[in-house]
Chains A and B, each alone.
Chain A
Amino acid sequence: MRHLLGIEGWRRDELEALLDRARVHLPGGPDVTHTLRGKVVANLFFEDSTRTRTSFHMAARGLGAGVLNWSSSGSSTSKGETLLDTARNIEATGPVAIVMRHKSSGAPHLVAKHVRCAVINAGDGTHEHPSQALLDAFTLRQRWGSLEGRTVLIVGDILHSRVARSNLWCLKALGARVVFCGPPTLLPTGLESLGAEVTSNLDAVLPQADAVMCLRLQLERMGEAFLPSTKEYSRLFGLNAAREERMKPGALVMHPGPINRGLELAPSVADGPRSVILEQVSNGVAVRRAILEVCTS
């Protein structure tokens, strides 16, 4: 049993083993395996995320497990129950793993210190979203074989992005170069010391990228005046058709979804030949099956 609280701290061989394992679960493999037959996986979602929850749900079912779905809307947390109370109550039902989404960074770390089953982080605040990074890496490995020496450019709201942090650790561990690009107000301090390169000049770095990962602009945070307008953001940091033309031949376009169409990504690019966005989604279940196996074995 081990937790997946973040990608940080995982070694390359461990990540590669997990990604190799995920291949077994691709469409064409067995519909249902029995790794977790008779076991229960608890989905503990304090923040709405239909995509991730459904993906983990399908992954657990695909391993033969029962799924306990718990979400915070209308539940006891709004009545003052603490996170640890909730987690302990869920644990008492005997799951082999708790899959957890929470709006506070570090919430799964707190739970992991107080429960005995595996804790799998399905996104915590602005910290990490490890399963997303693993499916991104899986998708790139499918296309490239290896990530060694490749440059991945991550564009957008790095400050609020858990996907960005998880991808930094994951891609770097697998041998890629990671460049972050966004407006200075959305670039947190000290990224360089974590091993990333940082720029606000998209046009200068775009031609170097083997893959461009556009992040969703978190419009709900625009009220805090991080940006003057979405229009200006789109002009400076949107991946439009003109920019797409300056990309390396064969370079890929990614997005963790959901997309603000026409804002961070032009529709023609999102649906174009470079896009691997739908592959990301369909790889999600296979990768999450592998995560559940590795964490509960």
Chain B
Amino acid sequence: MSGTVLFRRGRVIDPRNGVDGVRDVLVKDGKVAEVSVAPLPVPPGAEVVEAEGHWVLPGFIDLHVHLREPGEEGKETVLTGCRAAVAGGFTAVVAMPNTKVVNDSGLVTELVLSRARAANLCHVYPAGAITKGLKGEELAETGELVSAGCVAITDDGRPVMSAALMRRALQYATLFGVPVMVHEEDLTLSAGGAMHEGPTATRLGLRGIPASAEVAMVARDLVLLEETGGRLHIAHVSCEGSVRLIREAKRRGLNVTAEATPHHVILDDRAVGDYDTHAKMAPPLRADRDVEALREALADGTVDAIATDHAPHGVLDKQVEFEKGINGIIGLETALGLTLELVHGGVLTEKRAVELLSHGPAKAFGLPGGHLAPGAPGDVTVVNPNEEWTVEVHRFYSRSRNTPFHGRRQKGRVVQTWVSGRKVYADGQVKESR
């Protein structure tokens, strides 16, 4: 059970509540009890965290994580994924349903939740499938999924190609108020493609995936959203055209949110280099002007959240011909460092960076947390903004190693993670209590 914790003299950045300054934060019974400008007395039996020189932040929330359980436990499990999450400063993750028994029923949702309870590290919010078996043919039972604990529905990894079915999914989901999260890819335009269509693909002789494969679907779904109502969340936005459409839709008051991954904002298609499968993902890394547009969209609020699309894969999935390489990279343990690169580069303010990792995602999916006002969950991430470190994949808690960022220098590091007032990560160690 969690006790009482006092975070002393840290810089609290809490964008939702307009706080940015040195504060004491008292967490009691798993919730934030007090946030104070003046030093607070240490309650009897309280653990004290001397946070001077550190940032005390609302725990990070990742809307897009693949935990691979059930079915691909060799790549990741709910437990190892939760370890990676807390090591990366995340106190909550949304688990994608494209596991090797698809989460399209309450039974699978309950299994994931029971594994999460057993892991007892961070909050795990399952997302259920939009369609049965992710086949894009019939709606899965959204009601059952939501009552079992799903916070969103998505066929992530695949688009819903049928416009008629997508229209019904949006309509039907209004019954439950959950967001419909979409992976935007017109498969007829992306067919055979291995990377972004552009000079690098041409140089490498790889079939390109044009930006229109994403933008056309974003346009379609915004049109459907306008007609049906409901909530649309666009996963891993990757290109300028999508950003423009989302910005305009928001201006007109449509209920749309969007996320971007750190890798799409840090790297462009040139990262493929000479066929590096660690730079292979869907959507693909795009052109530099797309990266520029995404950065603007993160800064101006068009994109609501940074989400990692943490996608664990084995070595053999990546040590193959580029065209055969499986899409995706892991992201939980590199997210903060990469986001801070944007701060150091003048793209984001510190406050906006924190918002994109906490309040932004909480608000998009209506999740608890994401801020530190009294009564909020005692989910806290402590960051040393000045610590310089090097990304080393063999130190990751994730069961997989697929990242293009091995060896990258970072400034700013998660030093402690607290979930519901309990210390789950500190001094480079995950603290298990199962």
Contacts and interface: CB of A to CB of B under 8 A. Distances in A.
Interface stretch (A125-133, A201-209, A234-242, A273-281): A125-133
Contacts of B319: 82, 84, 110
A53 interface: no
B241 to A, nearest CB: 15
Contact of A109 (B201, B203, B274, B323): B274
Nearest to B194: A105
Given A106-B275, A109-B275, A110-B275, A188 B321 contact: no
B202 A83 contact: no
A128 B274 contact: no
Interface in A86-111: 102, 104-107, 109-110
B320 A110 contact: yes
B127 to A, nearest CB: 33
Interface stretch (A22-30, A54-62, A189-197, A211-219): A189-197
A82 B274 contact: no
Given A102-B321, A106-B322, A189 B203 contact: no
B126 to A, nearest CB: 33
B270 to A, nearest CB: 12
A162 to B, nearest CB: 6
Nearest to A129: B205
Nearest to A111: B321
A8 interface: yes
B322 A105 contact: yes
B324 interface: yes
A255 interface: no
Contacts of B208: 188-189
Contacts of B320: 82-84, 110
Which one of B199, B205, B324 has the highest number of Cβ atoms from chain A below 10 Å of its Cβ?
A: B205
A165 B201 CA distance: 12
Contacts of B199: 189-191, 193-194
Contacts, number: 72
Nearest to A187: B202
Contacts of B200: 190
Contacts of B204: 105-106, 127
Interface residues on A, range: 20 to 34
A106 B206 contact: yes
B327 to A, nearest CB: 16
Interface string B187-200: 00000000001111
Interface in A165-184: 165
A126 B205 contact: yes
A124 interface: yes
Contacts of A104: 321-324
Given A104-B321, A125-B323, A190 B198 contact: yes
B274 A105 contact: no
Contacts of A194: 199, 202-203
A189 B198 CA distance: 5
B206 to A, nearest CB: 5
A8 B320 CA distance: 22
B203 A105 contact: no
A102 B274 CA distance: 16
B316 interface: yes
B205 A110 contact: no
Contacts of A125: 205-206, 323
A105 B202 contact: no
A188 B274 contact: no
Nearest to A191: B202
Interface string B322-342: 111000000000000000000
Contacts of B206: 105-106, 125-127
Interface in B268-291: 274-275
Nearest to A169: B203
A180 to B, nearest CB: 11
B413 to A, nearest CB: 31
A193 B270 CA distance: 13
Given A106-B206, A106-B275, A189 B197 contact: yes
B215 to A, nearest CB: 16
14 contacts: A83-B321, A102-B321, A105-B206, A106-B205, A106-B206, A106-B321, A110-B319, A110-B321, A125-B206, A188-B201, A189-B198, A190-B200, A190-B201, A190-B203
Interface of A: 5, 8, 82-84, 102, 104-107, 109-110, 124-128, 162, 165, 188-191, 193-194
Interface of B: 197-208, 274-275, 316, 319-324
